[in-house]
Amino acid sequence: MTDLYRAGQWRTWEDLEKHVASGELRESHTLELKRDNYSGGESGKKEQAKDIAALALDGGILIIGLEEDKATGAAAKTAPVSLHGVIERIDQICANRISPQLRVTISDNLRSPSDPSTGVIVIEVPATGVPHMVDHRYLGRDNRTTRLLDNTEVVRLLARRDLDVEAVDRDLDATDALMAGQGMSAARLVISATPIPMLRRDALRDQLSPAHAVKWFTARMEAAAIRAGAERSGNEAMSRLFRPFRWTDRSSSWGTRRIPGGAALRFGPPDRMPFCIEVLESGAARFAADFITEVYKDQRSDAETKVLYLADAMSFTCEIVAWIAEVAEEAGLRGTYGIGLQLSDLAGAVREPTNSIAQARLHFPDKTTYRDDTYRQVILATGAELRGPFLPLLDQMFGPLMRALDYGDPLRPQ
């Protein structure tokens, strides 16, 4: 019964009631049940913030509208609560009362057949791996209760987070070396995506089998393109700075093939490989785009200018964030993804001029040039962040580079 009606995954009110009747739905380290929708006052908001913050370490689900048996922790019956304004209230609690801020996924789709204005609220809390504070106190969760974390635990957990970042750095180095070994130029963008924690090394085994890989990759491309397009059209800054990246417009002479531990899709003519996607059975993924810089010679002198195609790099990355979100959803990965980004061959590069004729013929000595040869960022994104607006993630990845090239902060969320 538990496999049929996984907590929070019910399709209908009938499914929910069947799961409750089975006796298998009960509180645990990752599941909190609440009969009432807290109180609307200060104490209720604080209590809800604590319950959500405590679940964030390892991830979990908070379900409001289920009465539990206090002796066993099992759900006893449904107790529908009012759904009016509930999503906005929870979003505000996560943003203003929990530090660091949390982004959770909230569903109010399960509505009581007798009164559709009431129902059950499902709050999916991502596994962030770091402790979160409410009222300057770090919270954690035992089997069925919320508790304060002591100083030793907080220090240990923060140190573990540093190790996660180091692991993403290593994966990014390995991805860059792999693409260099496969013939990409020095002027490349590479992205690595690493599930944290990596609970299953075969999460995508069936999808990446020889019989299904081509169809699966095609479906992910289509879904990622739709998602990235919606993100661009829904935000003025993104619609101005990002371009559509049409996978179907790119010829593929290599296609989809098995690689050790997964499958790869490469695009391009026979003599070069400008784009590459590799997805592993664990849910980890690698991406690369070649030729992100190009040197132009001034026709009036011997001066040369290296141009960075930043809009192309950001557009490719926007599609890749959509890819990662799709892969996470398909693999059932609800925790955190470590995303590493590196652009190479940047030393002396200027941002791409808006006038293509000027770009090809003129030298730009007054433009701000990038000093280092590489640009590198590592971020940790929860499942909720990947399912939410992309702008905050893209700002984390490209914001420092844009400021260094005098773009300002066009990606900073308003």
Place of tokens 């190009």: 294
Q: Indicate the residue among 127, 149, 171 that finishes a domain.
A: 149
Question: Which of 4-8, 47-51, 219-223 is the most confident on average?
Answer: 47-51
Q: Indicate the residue among 82, 117, 149 that finishes a domain.
A: 149
Range of the structural domain that residue 69 is part of: 13-149
pLDDT digits (tens, 9 = 90+) for 304-338: 888 888 888 998 999 899 989 888 877 766 678 89
Q: Do 233 and 176 share a domain, yes or no?
A: yes
Q: Which residue has the higher pLDDT, 414 or 65?
A: 65
Q: Do 123 and 25 share a domain, yes or no?
A: yes
Residue 25: which CATH number? 3.30.950.30
Q: How many residues does the chain have?
A: 414
pTM of the model: 0.71
**Sequence-separated (6 or more) residues with CB below 8 Å from residue 325:** 224, 227, 386, 387
pLDDT digits (tens, 9 = 90+) for 53-101: 999 888 889 999 999 888 888 899 999 999 988 889 999 999 899 998 8
What phi, psi does 335 have (nearest 5°)?
Answer: -90, -125
Residue 330 burial (CB < 10 Å; 0-12/13-18/19+)? Answer: middle
Is there a domain that residue 8 lies in? Answer: no
Spatial separation of the C-alpha atoms in residues 414 and 385, rounded to whole Å: 17
293 SS3 class: strand
Question: What is the structure's pLDDT at 199?
Answer: 64
15-24: long-range contacts (C-beta < 8 A, 24 or more apart)? 16/78, 16/110, 16/120, 17/78, 19/75, 20/66, 20/75, 20/76, 20/77, 20/78, 23/74, 24/74
Closest listed residue to residue 247, CA positions, set 272, 276, 270, 271: 276
What phi, psi does 273 have (nearest 5°)?
Answer: -130, 85
Is there a domain that residue 96 lies in? Answer: yes
Spatial separation of the C-alpha atoms in residues 204 and 75, rounded to whole Å: 32
Q: Do 263 and 385 share a domain, yes or no?
A: yes
